[in-house]
Structure 1
Amino acid sequence: MTPTTTTTTDSRSPAPSASTDTPEPDESPSVGPEPGDSETGGPSVAALPEALLGRDLEEMPGAGNVVALTFDAGANSAALPSILSTLSAEHVRATFFLTGNWAQAGSGSVHRILAEGHRLGNHSMSHPGFTQLTDAQITEEIRGAEAAILAAGGDPRPFFRFPFGERDSRVIATVNRLGYIAVRWSVDTLGWKGTSGGATQETVLRRVVDGLRPGAIILMHIGSNPEDGTTLDADALPGIIKEIKTAGYSLATLDQILAG
């Protein structure tokens, strides 16, 4: 049976560029794999929770009133200082999905993200659409990013996010075989569109508030809009965290949620 391809154009972030981006924080989750224990040279799929395989998670199962802030890093790092400052002031930890190219260009940013206790995930090496790649090319993209992030001092395992949100059953299975859980999102703020694309700080905030639910995964971006230079996700972040807490939710990294 030919897998059905699902593409979410709303999730497209600016094309990766040589800049600084951010990696991972504290410890690997208990579900995290051990390196070098599979035929592919990476973690064994057996180390991952079976219930999370074959899926691109749109929310964290069994999370209760806990939500996860996630940031994709593949373009520039314009909003990183503001984002990290807000998270620190609010005592919130988040999960950052890095491309390998971003990690190579900005190892200092990766170190800062980790030093402040945040978690990392794999966002591929060069941010291509995965449904157009062969299994061998997917392996190269994932292992390349993994190596780059490890070299920068972090570890993205076992979390992976598809570039552009493009996936089908084949590519999800391939990602799982490489030892990764595919993590999508419940809410895309669309802040990456910038004011030139019709987004505002208020629309970013309202999308998050309207999409809140137990285990919600919120997608934001570190880079500025390439046309207008806006960083709407960073600008809206203080208000987003305030509204999440006011609604009775707490915030955690993906591995903290999985660990219960």
Structure 2
Amino acid sequence: MAATGAESPRPEQGRRARRREVAVVLAATMILLAAAVTIALLVAGPGGTPSATTSSGSLAPTPGTTGVASPSPTADTGPTAVTEPTATTGGPTPLPPEPGLTATSPAPPPTPGATAAPPVPPGLLGQDLTIIPGAGNNIALTFDAGANAAGLDSILATLANRQVAGTFFLTGAWAASNPSGVARIVASGHRLGNHSMTHPAMTRLPEPAIAAEIRDAEAAIAAAGGDPRPLFRFPFGDRDERTINAVNSLGYVPVRWTVDTLGWKGTSGGMSRSGVAERVLGNLQPGGIILMHLGSNPDDGSTLDADALADVIDGIRAAGYGFVTLDRLQQL
């Protein structure tokens, strides 16, 4: 028979519908509970207590705890211990300092600088001396060292044997290459002078470069155990009023020579041992300054000044002269 309206649900279908409704409600309830637990864990602090927040919404530090310590100015300039938080207290704990240092050690004191050279005597200002004023019948033997040390052993031996002190003008480069040579010259009782760092033509240099040449040489000679102050010799004898004034301003007295032996020319340049001695003995005068060289000729390897030194000393004495170093200038 045909139905006249909607059919009523059967009893079994009703029960199934009710079970589905209950399952949906239970699932929704569990989701809500899980969300609530998650939110509570996020809000809670490390110990289970919610942390305070700043007005900007960022987490504020818990009282009594710190993060990594930030540096702050202190009066102590020594090594500072680095800090980091610990797991037990949350406070800073010093890390061990680097080996050989302590967190409370003061910084090492600065290395004392060289003492200032005395001012140049007014009577020596503006000069490149060619004789020693007031030295009487005395001669100064001087030796320039800028190339090599080929003649050093012979010269030191002759000076010791004849009991004569000389003055050695060293470049800084020579001193740096021959520190033991500097020590031997000083230990033998001889005087040192400054001959610039690299032996340039000084009149071509501006004042700052002149100062650097002199100061660098001074430092190199000092590092080898010597003190060249206040004696200076211009490389090549190249000087003018400006460069002399620049040298004076640095506390140095420029010292030239009375006679150049020309031994540096070597045998290839037409010189000889006897020629060296003849040039010196033929130009003697009170307070004379003799220029000789320590190294060998670069072309023939000769060391004519070293070879002729004994003859020079004996000839000077035979002429009635004695010997002084350029320290005599500091007595003026």
Which runs of 5 or more residues in structure 1 are unaligned?
1-33, 38-42
Contact preservation (8 Å) 2:144, 2:169: yes
2:287 aligned to which of 208, 215, 220: 215
Equivalent residue, structure 2, for 1:177: 249
Equivalent residue, structure 1, for 2:104: none
| Cα distance change of structure 1 residues 35 and 179 upon mapping to structure 2, 3 Å threshold | farther
1:100 equivalent to 2:100? Answer: no
Equivalent residue, structure 2, for 1:31: none
Equivalent residue, structure 1, for 2:209: 137
- Map 1:189-204; keep pairs closer than 5 Å: 189-204=261-276
Contact preservation (8 Å) 1:191, 1:232: yes
Post-superposition Cα deviations, 1:20-55, rounded to whole Å, max 9, x if no partner, equal: xxxxxxxxxxxxxx9554xxxxx35xx221111100
Q: Size of the alignment, in residue pairs?
A: 220
1:78 aligned to which of 135, 150, 173: 150
Contact preservation (8 Å) 2:292, 2:305: yes
Counterpart residue type for residue 296 of structure 2: S
Shift of the alpha carbon at 1:257? 5.5
Among all aligned residue pairs of Structure 1 and Structure 2, give the percentage whose two residues are the same amino acid: 60
Counterpart residue type for residue 221 of structure 1: H
Contact preservation (8 Å) 1:196, 1:227: yes
Q: Residue 254 of structure 2 aligns to a residue in which SS?
A: strand
2:310 aligned to which of 221, 238, 250: 238
> Partners in 1 of 2:114 and 2:322 — Cα distance?
32
Counterpart residue type for residue 187 of structure 1: V
1:89 equivalent to 2:161? Answer: yes
- Map 1:108-187; keep pairs closer than 5 Å: 108-187=180-259
Equivalent residue, structure 1, for 2:121: 49
Counterpart residue type for residue 181 of structure 2: S
Post-superposition Cα deviations, 1:187-211, rounded to whole Å, max 9, x if no partner, equal: 0000000000011111100110011
Equivalent residue, structure 1, for 2:323: 251
Post-superposition Cα deviations, 1:46-100, rounded to whole Å, max 9, x if no partner, equal: x221111100000000110011000000001000000000000000000000000
Counterpart residue type for residue 254 of structure 1: L
Q: TM-score, normalised by structure 1?
A: 0.83
Q: Residue 120 of structure 1 aligns to a residue in which SS?
A: strand
Moved over 6 A (4+): none
Greater relative CO, 1 or 2 (CA 8 Å, sep 6+): 1
- Structure having the higher Rg: 2
Shift of the alpha carbon at 1:258? 4.3
Contact preservation (8 Å) 2:171, 2:199: yes
> Partners in 2 of 1:154 and 1:124 — Cα distance?
14
> Partners in 2 of 1:258 and 1:217 — Cα distance?
15
Counterpart residue type for residue 246 of structure 2: T
Q: Residue 211 of structure 1 aligns to a residue in which SS?
A: coil
RMSD: 1.3
> Partners in 1 of 2:115 and 2:164 — Cα distance?
32
Counterpart residue type for residue 289 of structure 2: I
1:58 equivalent to 2:155? Answer: no
> Partners in 2 of 1:192 and 1:183 — Cα distance?
19
Contact preservation (8 Å) 1:72, 1:96: yes
Shift of the alpha carbon at 1:259? 2.8
> Partners in 2 of 1:134 and 1:85 — Cα distance?
40
Q: TM-score, normalised by structure 2?
A: 0.65
> Partners in 1 of 2:311 and 2:330 — Cα distance?
26
